[in-house]
């Protein structure tokens, strides 16, 4: 499952991954200036796998994925870079081309299923209209398909519930409806933007298991955006750690959780409570606050919060932007040497 | 739905009764004497006393109220004037006619004025609001904002008088507004009321534009509108089926109130264009101290508000499935 891909810098496209994002820049015009929400991000998603994108709020996770689908506000958003999906360049694609992709080949589910579903339409209608739009199905066929999808996501009495409105469902059931709606056209890629954040912990697990099951049945690739490393551990194959609109670390879920190399990833892992550890031991938080993207720090964007600048190369950390290295496989954007990283992480693991 | 309507109708009846009582007692506290009006210019004390007796004004005020109320349901007899059939809202000594008959006579003018201008301000107000919202921050939006600000701040008597002066008398673009019953000639009906419709609609259009625009802008950033776009819905479908849907509720709310208050009489518009509607009727009733007539117009205005409130509440359930009527 390692993201071993061939580099072909000239075309900007890599290997056989069917979604490839290359050097993506997204910036917003605001009254205070230009916000660089995504600043030179590259990643790939392979068929049938789940890529977990993890990072703090404002690290550019959601913006990246809205940009892939062209769902940003074109009036004050500037996008640069390449997004290849199934041999199609999505940046700069026509409106109709994007409309034909959305909900059809690439689907999306959002954080809060209550506000993300229309309160004015029955769930059946909201599901079937996607199917009708993209597959040209008749009203009857689409309704049948909607019932089938509701059954597949585990909604009891789908035949009668198809005519209910979202407010008739509980939070977890609503998210199942969202998933049914997203998967109705058998998309090749599902972008799930914090799909479990608004749900109860027990329901979270159910929804994640459902996504996993559906992925096994349909072979859909998933981009799972989250700030919850527990979710990552449970569902992702590959992980991209984002910080300040850039990639901090990339690797398989094993790489990231077992042998993380970036100080930011260490920070994220140390701030997760562990079952079995004493409740008296305080969690280690990452000191400081995320940088303002209006005026990001020069050099490594993480350096103002990093404890290891002195052990790396201060002149580089403070002045030179690090890129992911190596370019494929388990890579991280940090100037510490690999040996240093292994030693430091071993020490961190020793801490109670 | 049936239970809701029954309950609300009963509630409305109670509210109307309270309004009627308050108006009745308030008006009898003012120093105007209907008997003196009925009596005529030269009024010897014994004739006045006779008039008071005929009108039932020698009775205690509470008895008078009950008599008045009873008249609405069963009619009442005025000594020396004859029978006033139900629904009897009293007898106007200024017009020398039963109040109810006069109201029925004037109602079509006011209703015609209301319907015409309501259609105009609803279509133009909401239409402009949507266009402004979809072009947020662009020149079209700014033009709409500025013109609706101007529209909201002008006064009907000002625009109406200007329109009458220039369009009717100076340039003779349009004839002097007049009321022709719809059943006589629909074209003449519309033509005769066109100018008052437009003038009355100007101020309302502005309000609807502003409200539609702000609600629509809000709706466009709703999560479910983003979901609709993420599903691949065309921008047209996103706007019409999703964003507009949430805009309807507040529009219906104020539309109900506006139409209700217009039915109560557009006093200034009717006066400006010399249309004999309910508005004119009530202002004349005030000026002439015609208490029975004033009672009736106040009650009509109140009834319109109460009835339209029930209609609006019932419509909510149709528009928004989250609203349950019980």
Residue A11: the pLDDT is: 45
Rounded Cα distance between B217 and A348, Å, is 50
Angle of the B186-220 helix axis to the B244-263 helix axis, nearest 10: 140
Give the residue from chain A lying closest to B230, CA to CA: A102
**Contact (CB<8Å) B230/A134:** no
Sequence-separated (6 or more) residues with CB below 8 Å from residue A134:
A100, A103, A104, A185, B232
Mutate to test the interface with A, among B138, B227, B233, B324 (most CBs of A within 10 A): B227
* B224 contacts on A by Cβ (under 8 Å): 115-119
Distance from CA of A174 to the nearest CA of B (A): 13
Out of B234, B245, B319, closest to residue A99 by CB: B234
Test A115 with B321 for CB contact under 8 angstroms.
no
Inter-chain CB proximity B223 and A110 less than 8 Å:
yes
Dihedral class, residue A186 (left if φ above 0, else alpha if ψ from -120 to 50, else beta):
left
Do A99 and B232 make contact, defined as CB atoms within 8 angstroms? yes
A190 → chain B, closest CA residue: B230
pLDDT in tens, B232-267: 999 888 988 899 988 998 999 999 999 999 998 889
- Confidence class of residue B92 from pLDDT cuts 50, 70 and 90? confident
What stretches of B30-81 show up as alpha helix (H) in DSSP? Answer: 34-39, 45-54, 61-74
Q: What is the dihedral of CA B21, B27, B30, B35, to 10 degrees?
A: -120
Per-residue confidence in pLDDT tens, chain A, 352 aa: 444 444 443 444 455 668 999 999 999 988 888 999 999 999 999 999 999 999 888 888 889 988 998 888 888 899 999 999 988 999 989 999 999 999 999 999 998 888 999 999 999 999 999 999 999 999 999 999 999 999 999 999 999 999 999 999 998 899 999 999 999 999 999 999 999 888 888 888 888 999 999 999 999 999 999 988 889 998 999 999 999 999 999 999 999 999 999 999 999 888 887 777 676 767 778 888 888 888 888 899 999 999 898 888 888 999 999 988 888 889 999 999 999 999 999 888 887 6
Q: What's the CA gap between A218 and A189, in Å, rounded? A: 11
Cβ atoms of residues A199 and A191 within 8 Å: no
- Closest to A38 (Cα-Cα) out of A237, A225, A267: A225
- Of A102, A121, A134, Cβ closest to residue B230: A102
Angle B205-B206-B211 from CA coordinates, rounded to 5°: 100
How remote is the C-alpha of A18 from its chain's centroid?
A: 16
- Per-residue model confidence (pLDDT) at position A352: 62
pLDDT of residue A180: 94
- Whether the CB of A164 is below 8 Å from some CB of chain B: the reply is no
- pTM value is 0.82
Q: How far apart are the first and last CA of chain A?
A: 32
Asked whether B259 and B312 are in contact (CB, 8 A), the reply is no
- Say if the Cβ atoms of B137 and A103 lie within 8 Å: no
Given an 8 Å threshold on Cβ–Cβ distance, is A102 in contact with B232?
yes
A100 and B246: CB-CB below 8 Å?
no
Give the Cα separation of B218 and B279 in Å (integer).
37
Residues 101-120 of A with CB under 8 A from B: 101-104, 107-108, 110, 112, 115-120
Q: Under a CB-based contact definition with an 8 Å cutoff, are residues A109 and A176 in contact?
A: no
d(CA A85, CA A106): 9
Nearest by CB to B232, from A104, A117, A119: name it.
A104
CA A347/CA A198 separation, integer angstroms = 35
CA B23 – CA B298 distance, rounded (Å): 8
Contacts of B226 in chain A (CB under 8 A): 71, 110, 116
The reply to whether A30 touches chain B by the CB within 8 Å rule is no
Helix (H) or strand (E) holding A212: helix A201-218
Candidates B227, B245, B319; nearest CB to A110: B227
**pLDDT given for residue B326 in this prediction:** 54
Give me the percent of chain B exceeding a pLDDT of 70: 98
Q: Which residues of A touch B234 (CB under 8 A)?
A: 99
Q: Is A95 on the interface with B (CB under 8 A)?
A: yes
Cβ neighbour number for residue B155 with a 10 Å cutoff: 11
Q: Report the chain B residue with the minimal C-alpha distance to residue A180.
A: B231
Interface touch B230/A108, C-beta < 8 Å: yes
Q: How far is B318 from chain A (nearest CA, A)?
A: 10
Residue B279 has pLDDT above 60, yes or no: yes
Distance CA(A239)–CA(A232), nearest Å, equals 8
Give the strands of the sheet with A106-109, arranged side by side: A106-109, A189-193, A221-226, A50-54, A238-243, A246-252, A331-332
Q: What is the pLDDT of residue B325?
A: 62
Interval A30-55: pLDDT, tens: 888 899 999 999 999 999 999 999 98
Task: Please list every residue in chain B whose beta carbon sits closer than 8 Å to the beta carbon of residue A167.
Answer: 321-322
- State the residue for tokens 């991209």: A240
Q: What is the pLDDT of residues B181-202, one digit of tens each?
A: 999 999 999 999 999 999 999 9
Residue A12's pLDDT is 47
Q: Which tokens in the block code for residue A66? A: 């809205």
Partner B contacted by A100 (CB < 8 A): yes
Higher-confidence residue of B116 and B57: namely: B116
Give the confidence band of B171 by pLDDT, cuts at 50, 70, 90. very high
Dihedral pair phi/psi, residue A161, rounded to 5°: -75, -15
Decide if A107 and B246 are in contact by the 8 Å CB cutoff.
no
Q: What is the pLDDT of residue B24?
A: 85
Q: Cβ distance A123 to A177 under 8 Å?
A: yes
A75 chain-B contacts, CB cut-off 8 A? 137
Region class of B90: left (phi > 0), else alpha (psi between -120 and 50), else beta: left
CB contact under 8 A, A165 and B242: no
Residue of B nearest to A76 (CA): B137
- A117/B224 CB distance under 8 A: yes
Do B292 and B281 touch, CB atoms closer than 8 A?
no
Interface size A-B, in CB pairs within 8 Å, comes to 68
Within 13 A of A286's CA, how many CA atoms are on the CB side? 21
Q: What is the predicted pLDDT for the residue at A15?
A: 53
Contact criterion met (CB < 8 Å) for A115 and B222? yes
| Alpha helices, DSSP H, located in chain B | 2-29, 34-39, 45-54, 61-74, 99-134, 139-153, 156-163, 186-220, 223-230, 235-237, 244-263, 267-272, 278-287, 291-319
Q: With 50 as the cut, is the pLDDT of residue B104 above it? A: yes
pLDDT tens readout for residues B113-163: 999 999 999 999 999 999 999 888 889 999 999 998 898 888 888 999 999
Enumerate the residues of chain A whose CB falls inside 8 A of the CB of residue B320. Answer: 119-120
Residues linked to residue B64 through DSSP beta bridges, in sequence order: none
Nearest CA-CA distance, residue B226 and chain A, Å:
8
Cβ–Cβ < 8 Å for B233, A133? yes
Which residues in B lie closer than 8 A to residue A102 (C-beta atoms)? 229-232
């Amino acid at each position: 499952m390692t993201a071993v891909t061939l580099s072909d810098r000239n075309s900007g496209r890599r290997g056989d991954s069917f979604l490839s994002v290359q050097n993506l820049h997204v910036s917003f015009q605001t009254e205070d200036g230009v916000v660089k929400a995504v600043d030179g991000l590259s990643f790939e998603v392979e068929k049938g796998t789940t890529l977990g994108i993890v990072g703090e709020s404002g690290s550019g996770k959601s913006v990246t994925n809205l940009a892939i689908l062209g769902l940003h506000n074109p009036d004050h958003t500037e996008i640069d870079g390449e997004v290849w999906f199934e041999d199609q360049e999505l940046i700069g694609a026509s409106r109709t081309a994007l409309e034909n992709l959305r909900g059809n080949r690439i689907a999306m589910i959002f954080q809060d299923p209550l506000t993300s579903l229309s309160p004015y339409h029955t769930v059946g209608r909201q599901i079937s209209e996607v199917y009708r739009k993209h597959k040209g199905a008749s009203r009857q066929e689409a309704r049948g398909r909607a019932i089938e999808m509701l059954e597949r996501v585990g909604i009891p009495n789908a035949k009668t519930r198809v005519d209910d409105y979202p407010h008739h469902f509980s939070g977890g059931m609503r998210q199942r409806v969202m998933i049914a709606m997203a998967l109705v056209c058998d998309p090749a890629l599902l972008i799930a933007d914090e799909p479990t954040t608004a749900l109860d912990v027990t329901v979270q697990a159910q929804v994640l298991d459902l996504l996993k099951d559906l992925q096994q049945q349909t072979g859909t690739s998933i981009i799972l955006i989250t700030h919850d490393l527990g979710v990552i551990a449970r569902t992702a194959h590959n992980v991209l750690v984002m910080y300040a609109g850039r990639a901090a670390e990339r690797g398989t879920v094993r790489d990231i959780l077992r042998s993380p190399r970036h100080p930011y990833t260490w920070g994220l892992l140390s701030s997760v409570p562990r079952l079995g550890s004493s409740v008296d031991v305080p969690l280690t938080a990452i000191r400081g606050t995320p940088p303002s993207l209006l005026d990001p720090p020069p050099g490594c964007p993480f350096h103002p919060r990093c404890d290891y600048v002195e052990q790396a190369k201060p002149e580089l950390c403070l002045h030179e932007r690090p890129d992911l290295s190596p370019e494929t496989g388990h890579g991280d954007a940090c100037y510490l040497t690999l040996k240093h990283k292994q030693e430091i992480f071993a020490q961190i693991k020793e801490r109670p | 739905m049936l239970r809701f309507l029954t309950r609300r109708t009963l509630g409305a009846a109670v509210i109307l009764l309270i309004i009627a009582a308050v108006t009745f007692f308030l008006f009898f506290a003012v120093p105007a004497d209907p008997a003196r009006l009925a009596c005529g210019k030269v009024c010897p004390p014994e004739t006045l006393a006779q008039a008071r007796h005929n009108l039932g004004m020698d009775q205690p005020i509470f008895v008078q109220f009950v008599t008045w109320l009873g008249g609405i349901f069963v009619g009442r007899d005025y000594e020396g004037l004859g029978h006033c059939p139900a629904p009897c809202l009293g007898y106007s000594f200024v017009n020398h006619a039963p109040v109810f008959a006069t109201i029925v006579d004037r109602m079509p003018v006011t209703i015609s004025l209301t319907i015409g201008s309501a259609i105009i301000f609803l279509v133009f107000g909401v239409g402009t609001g949507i266009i402004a919202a979809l072009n947020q921050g662009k020149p079209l939006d700014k033009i709409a904002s500025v013109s609706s600000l101007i529209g909201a701040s002008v006064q009907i008597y000002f625009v109406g008088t200007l329109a009458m002066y220039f369009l009717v008398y100076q340039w003779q673009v349009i004839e002097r507004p007049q009321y022709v019953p719809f059943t006589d000639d629909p074209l003449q009906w519309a033509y005769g009321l066109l100018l008052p419709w437009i003038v009355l609609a100007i101020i309302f259009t502005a309000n609807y534009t502003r409200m539609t625009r702000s609600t629509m802008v809000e709706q466009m950033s709703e999560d479910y509108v983003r979901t609709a776009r993420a599903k691949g819905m065309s921008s047209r479908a996103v706007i019409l089926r999703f964003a507009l849907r949430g805009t309807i509720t507040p529009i219906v709310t104020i539309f109900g109130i506006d139409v209700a208050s217009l039915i109560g009489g557009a006093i200034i518009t009717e006066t400006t264009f010399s249309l004999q509607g309910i508005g004119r009727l009530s202002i004349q009733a005030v000026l002439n101290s015609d208490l029975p007539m004033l009672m009736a117009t106040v009650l009509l205005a109140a009834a319109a508000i109460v009835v339209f409130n029930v209609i609006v509440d019932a419509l909510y359930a149709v528009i928004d499935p989250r609203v349950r009527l019980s």
